[in-house]
Structures are given as C-alpha cells and as structure tokens.
Amino acid sequence: MTGDTGMRDLLAIMELLLTAEIFNRNENLDINDLHPLTREFFGVGVGGSPEVKRPLIVSEGAIKKVLGVPETVCQAVRANPFVGYEEFGQRLRLLSLDAAAGWFIKRGGKDRIGENPVLAFYFEGMDSIDLRYQDVRAKNPRFEDTKEYIEAKVSRVVGESEEMREARDLIIISAPAEVEYNLEKLVCTPRQEEVIKKIGVALEHRDFLKQHGIYEFGRLLFVGPPGTGKTSLALAMSPELHMPVLEVRLAMVTSQYLGETSKNIDRIFELAKRLAPCILFIDEFDFVAKTRVSDDHGAMKRAVNMLLKNIDQISFVRNGVLLIGATNHPHILDEAAWRRFDEVVEFPLPDRKMRQAILEKVAATIECDCDFADIAARTEGFSGSDLRMMMKEAVISALMEGRHRISPVDIEQGLLRVEERNLIRAGH
C-alpha cells in the first residue's frame, strides 16, 4: 500500500477496528467515549437514544459506504496477520489487540488518539503517549448536546400532553451543537465574563446549593442598546454550559384569544422545567412593560402578572432552568419586573479597546491590509453588530473586484454602508 491517501485510509479503518475491540471489552465506556464520526459509522445514537448495543461491528460494506475507500485498501487491511475476516457478513475484527495497537502507533496513528477517547483509554500511560483519557473525553463533543438527543427528549415531553405541544409551537429550541455562537467568538466585558463564570460554578455545585437552600440564583436580565451582543451571549452560553436554549419572543406568545396568553406563558415555563437543564431566553422583555403601561385590557394584565409569577417560581438551583431576559429599553421596566432578577448584566456600546478586539476576532481568518487601531478610533458609537456588518460589507466589496484580500478602500465601503443604514434607521 503506497501513498499518503492510502495510508490515511488504512489508519482510519484500523482506528475503527481498535475502537470496536476496546469498546466491546470495556463495559464502562459509553456513547460519549465515541467520536461523532465513529458514532455515525456504528449507527449509534440514531433516534436520540444514548444507549450503545455491544458488540460494535466493523463490516466492509460500512467501510466502503461511510469512508468511501477503494477495495484495494480493504484488501491491505485483511492482509495484516492480526486482522480476522469473516466471509459471512464481510466482517473484520482484530485477532490480537496488542499487535494491532503496536502497528497503529508505528504507522503514525498517534495523533488520532488525542481525538478518540476510546483509544486514549487504552493507550494512556504507554511509552511515548503523553495524554490523559479524561482530557480527551472532556473535549469530545457530547451526545447530549446533539440535535438528535434534544429532539428525542422534546418528543417524549411533548407526546405526553396537548398543552406541551402548544407550548412547543411558541418557542425556538436549539441543541448546544446547533448554536453557531461560542464564547471564543465573542468579546465580553469583565462583568459579563464574571457572570458566565458564576453560572458555571453554580451548575457544578447545584447539589451543594440545594442542600443549603440557596435558590435565588440564575435569573439574569441583559440590558443594553441593540447590537451589543445580548442574544449572542445568551446563545453562546448553550454550548458553554451544555444546555439547550429555548428562545421566547413575548410578542409571539400573545394570543389573539387574550385568555390564552396567560396559559401560553404557564405552558412555556412548564415545558422549560421538563426539558431542564436548559436556558430559557426571553427576548424583547420590555414588551411586558409596554403592555403594563399602555393596555387597559384585564386579560393582558393577567398575562403579565402570570409571567412575573412564573419568573418568581423558577430557580436554576431547584429546577435547572437558567432564565435570561433581554431588553433594549431598561428605563421602561417597572420595579416589579426589575425585582424578579437576581443579576442585571449591562451590555454597553463597545469602547475603543473593545471595538479593536471585536474587529480582530471578526477578521481573524481574513487576509486584510487594515489598521484595526485606526478603524476602532473612527467607529465611536458603533455596536458589535455594526462592526461585523462593516467587515462583511468590506469582504463583499473585495470579492466583487475578484480579490480575497481586504484593502482600506473596502473598509471605507463598509463604513459607508453602516453609516447609511444607521441614518435611515434614525429617520433622517
């Protein structure tokens, strides 16, 4: 077998054989020890179940279908003296785990061990293997974060009652693995970072807090102008904390049959409790305040009171629901609404230093002839969202001229587009 591609394919098949053999021998290994690609190969997690049926089997049919490798590679695998082949079912298996493991290391499989918890479990402590199984497992994507797992959980809960089905239609549910935002992509203020850290600590020590009756925790209100990252941070906390996020827009919950609005709010909070641990993110929270001020309708007032009552009764420590409300207009929220939240987190417009950090993150993978310090100085009053839009427009400007590298002229185009947009929004 010659060539880099051939050896890569050979190593990929040997990795599957080693994974199957080690996993089958060790009952304490579970679905989160299998890398997502390995889960796909073995058909594990289909239907959202975390259960893994042993033995895991490696067949030539699956190798050709999933890996797309040619017959010659399969022949090369079968030629190894430590690989057995069963004509019936065209199954491959290892005859000697030690011999196969030695071959795998010598042929350059060492890097693959750092991505595969099952292999790390077996190889940990061996000469030349400088990694810990627990570290490899910790960075392996969790099955409980996948869309399949969350959808199966939602289906079970929703299947139990008509009311839960109605609540499901009013919210957007995202599994942690589906969320595009993560904390590495965001530039946070020290206060925002502190809150994230506190939530992480509380999640880790929930039992301790429960034991000592400390329940007033985990109701956050995010306040600040549009585009300052309130929604982005709420969503980014999902993969960080390994909890699905349930997005609620209060305007959507308001039913044309006003009597239903109170029920809708009740149902949403009940659904969140049944799907816990989760993040319940209520955007446009100022809708509550506007309603209290401007609406004389008794049913609407009852709905708002129902919302406040539910917020009172929700607890991250007791129920496993992290509640995040977000508003662009904190000044119109009354005392009754403010009082419900344990923490108020401010999202100010970024200062010069933050603007430069945001620009550098946005352009991290883009070739750019730009002085970010200068651009940051010229974009006073821009939100994070404005800065991202400016860079997007600069990229489009370069691509329209057939370039992949951004020039200062492209940045000027981007600046112009954002300023035009802001003028239109301001009504000038």
**329 vs 150, which has greater pLDDT?**
150
Considering the domain architecture, whether residues 358 and 407 belong to the same structural domain is answered as yes
Percent of the chain whose predicted confidence (pLDDT) is above 90 = 74
Task: Identify the pLDDT of residue 34.
Answer: 98
219 shares a domain with 100: no
What is the torsion angle, in degrees rounded to the nearest 10, for the CA atoms of residue 322, residue 188, residue 141 and residue 388? 110
Look at residues 237, 231, 319 and name the one whose alpha carbon lies nearest to residue 282: 231
Question: How far is Cα 285 from Cα 267, in angstroms, rounded to an integer?
Answer: 18
- Amino acid present at 213: G
Q: What is the pLDDT of residue 304?
A: 82
Question: Is there a single domain that holds both residue 134 and residue 209?
Answer: no
**Residue 156 confidence (pLDDT):** 94
Q: Of the candidates 325, 346, 367, which is a domain's last residue?
A: 346
Q: Structurally, how many domains does the chain consist of?
A: 3
- C-alpha 317/C-alpha 344 separation (Å) is 18
Lowest mean pLDDT of 15-19, 57-61, 68-72, 281-285, name the range.
68-72
Strand-pair partners of 278:
321
The chain-wide mean pLDDT, for the chain, equals 91
pLDDT tens, residue by residue, 384-410: 999 999 999 999 999 999 999 999 999
Whole-number pLDDT of residue 253: 82
pLDDT tens digits along 230-251: 999 999 999 999 999 999 987 7
The answer, yes or no, to whether residue 329 has pLDDT greater than 90, is no
What does the radius of gyration of the chain's CA atoms come to, in whole angstroms? Answer: 27
Same domain, 137 and 152: no
CATH code, domain carrying 298: 3.40.50.300
Give me the helices (H) in 205-322, please: 206-211, 230-241, 250-253, 258-275, 286-294, 298-313, 316-319
Strand partners, 283: 249
Residues 115 and 227 in one domain: no
Q: Helices H, strands E: what count in the chain?
A: 23, 9
Query: Do 293 and 364 share a domain, yes or no?
Result: no
From the list 323, 251, 325, 253, the residue with the least C-alpha distance to 287 is 251
Indicate if the pLDDT at residue 72 is higher than 90.
Answer: no
In terms of domains, do 149 and 108 share one? no
User: Which range is least confidently modeled, 327-341, 386-400, 406-420?
Assistant: 327-341
Judge if pTM exceeds 0.85.
yes
| Helical (H) or strand (E) element with 57 | none
Sheet with strand 91-94: strands edge to edge: 58-59, 91-94, 83-86
- DSSP code per residue over 126-176: STT----HHHHHHHSPPGGGSHHHHHHHHHHHHHT-HHHHHHHTTSEEE-G
pLDDT at residue 288 in the model: 66
**Range with lowest mean pLDDT among 51-60, 70-79, 90-99:** 70-79
162-189 mean pLDDT: 93
Q: How would you class 344 by CB atoms within 10 Å of its CB: exposed for 0-12, middle for 13-18, buried for 19 or more?
A: middle
Query: Same domain for 172 and 321?
Result: yes
Q: Which of 346, 376, 406 is the last residue of a domain?
A: 346
Residues spanned by the domain of 81? 4-141
pLDDT digits (tens, 9 = 90+) for 343-371: 999 999 999 999 999 999 999 999 998 89
* 296 has pLDDT over 60: no
Confidence class of residue 3 from pLDDT cuts 50, 70 and 90?
low
Could you tell me if residue 160 is left (phi over 0), alpha (psi between -120 and 50 degrees) or otherwise beta? Answer: alpha
Using pLDDT thresholds of 50, 70 and 90, give the confidence band for residue 1: very low
Q: What confidence category does residue 256 fall into, taking pLDDT thresholds of 50, 70 and 90?
A: low
In the prediction, which pLDDT does 297 show?
63
- Tell me, yes or no, whether 136 and 149 share the same domain: no
Same domain for 238 and 293?
A: yes
Same domain, 186 and 306: yes
Question: Do the Cβ atoms of 114 and 131 come closer than 8 Å?
Answer: yes
Distance CA 89, CA 369 (A): 58
| Alpha carbon distance, N-terminus to C-terminus of the chain | 70
Q: Do 262 and 379 belong together in one domain?
A: no
CA dist., res. 231 & res. 249, Å (int): 12
Residue where a domain stops, chosen among 141, 176, 207: 141
Rounded mean pLDDT, 275-280:
96
Does the pLDDT of residue 286 top 90, yes or no? no
User: 292 falls in which pLDDT band (50, 70, 90)?
Assistant: low
CATH number for position 373: 1.10.8.60
Contact (Cβ atoms closer than 8 angstroms) between residue 101 and residue 18: yes
Tell whether the model's pLDDT for residue 334 goes beyond 80.
Answer: no
